[in-house]
Amino acid sequence: MEKMMRAQVVLAPNRMELQEIPVPRITDDEVLVKIKYCGICGSDYSIYTGKYVPERLPLVTGHEMFGTIAEIGANARGLEVGDRVAIDITLPCGTCYFCRKGDGLLCESFEQIGIHTKDMPGGFAEYVKAPWKNIYKVPDEVNDLKAAFIEPLTATIQAAKKMDAEIAGSVVIIGTGLGTIHGVMARLRGLCPIIVVGRNEKRLAMAREMCADHIINFEKTPDVVSEVFRLTDGVGADYVIESVGTPATYVQAFKMLRRGGKLESFGICAEGDTMEVDPFQFVLNEKKVSGSCAGIGNDWGDAIKLLRYGRIDPTPMISMIVPLEELEQALHELHDPVTRASLVKVLVSPEITERTVL
C-alpha cells in the first residue's frame, strides 16, 4: 500500500489546500528527507498569489528546508539514515551552454525544489526527496533553528560573492527581511557604514542590533536618497543591495549610488515590471549593476561553516513556528499591515500541532 503524507498544495492563485499525497519514491540516486522545519520565503507568497510561476500550479512549495534522512538510495555515499541535513534546492541540467560555463544559476532549464518542481514536492510537507549529491550534513554545533536558515543564508552568500565589495566600502541595504542578513554579511566583509532602509520598526531595531551603523525608516524620512548622501559625506553609496523587489525601490537604489558605484539586484519583481534609468548614469558616471537570485553548490557548505563557527546567528530573526496546517494563515499574517509588524521569519513544522511564538 502506498505511503501517504500531509502536504500543503497551492492549487491556484490564492487557493491552498492541505492534502494527503503519496510520500515521494526515491531512485538509487536520491534520498528521502523527513522535514523538521521549512521557512516561509517571500517567493512562497508570490507563488501563492500567482505573481510568480503561476503556470507551475498546482504545486507543493517551500524551499528553506531542514530535516533528517529517512531513506537512502543505493548509489548515495557518505550519508546515513538519521543524519541532520540541508538540501541544495538547485537543479541545473549540467549540459547547456551556461552550465558548461559554470553558471548553473543561468541554466536554460533551471529548476529549484519547492519553487518549480512538480515531481519533487517542496518542504511544506512531511517528506521531500532530492538528489543525494545535493545533500549537506549539518554538524551538531548548528542547532535545528539555525539549520533552518541555511538556504536563505546561501542566497546572501551568493549575492555577496557577486557584489565583490572592497573592504571599507559603504553599503545601503533596502529591505529588512533577508536584508538584515545581507547586512550581517556586509559586516563580515568589512563594509562601513552599513545603512539599512525599511519601515518596520521591529525589523529596523533588529538590523541596528545585528549589523547596521545607520537605519532609515522611509515612512519617517521625506527624502531617503538625500539622507543616504548625508550619511556618506555627500558621495553616495559604494554599493546598494535591493532586497525588496519593486520598480520604485530599484529606481531609488540606483539614485543612491555614488559615481562608479554598484547595485546588487536581489529583490524579485513581477515579470513585466519596468523601471526608468538614465543611460547617462552608465556611461559618464560608470554605475554598474549585477544580479543574484539564489545560492548554489558549495554556498551550502559556506553557510554551514559560518553558522558552525558563530559568524552569523540568525535565531533573533525567527519570530514564530507554526504547524503545517497553519501555513496559509501564516502567509496572510506576514503580509497583513497589522500582524506583520511583529513578524520577521516564520518557520513551518509538520511535527507540531500548536504554534510557538519566540
CATH number, residue 39: 3.90.180.10
Query: Which contacts (CB < 8 Å, 24+ apart) does range 255-261 have?
Result: 255/225, 256/172, 256/224, 256/225, 256/228, 256/229, 257/287, 258/232, 259/285, 259/286, 259/287, 260/285, 260/286, 260/287, 260/288, 261/236, 261/237, 261/287, 261/288
The C-alpha cell that represents 277 in the structure block? 534609468
Q: pLDDT under 70 in the chain at which residues?
A: none
Same domain, 81 and 138: yes
- CATH for 243: 3.40.50.720
Domain count, the chain: 2
User: What is the predicted pLDDT for the residue at 287?
Assistant: 93
C-alpha grid cell, residue 280 = 547617462
**The C-alpha cell of 120 is what?**
519533487
Would residue 297 count as lying in a domain? no
Output the pLDDT for position 118.
86
- Asked, for residue 309, whether it belongs to a domain, the answer is no
Are 285 and 203 contained in the same domain?
A: yes
CB 189 within 8 A of CB 167: yes
What single-letter amino acid sits at 94? G
In Å, the largest CA–CA distance within the chain is 70
Structural domain includes residue 229: yes
C-alpha dihedral, 211 to 212 to 215 to 218, nearest 10°: -60
What is the domain range of residue 324?
4-149+314-357
Residues 213 and 116 in one domain: no
Q: Does some domain include residue 157?
A: no
Is this prediction's pTM over 0.85? yes
- Rg of the Cα atoms in the chain: 20
User: Which residue is associated with the grid cell 571599507?
Assistant: 168
Q: Are residues 11 and 125 in the same domain?
A: yes
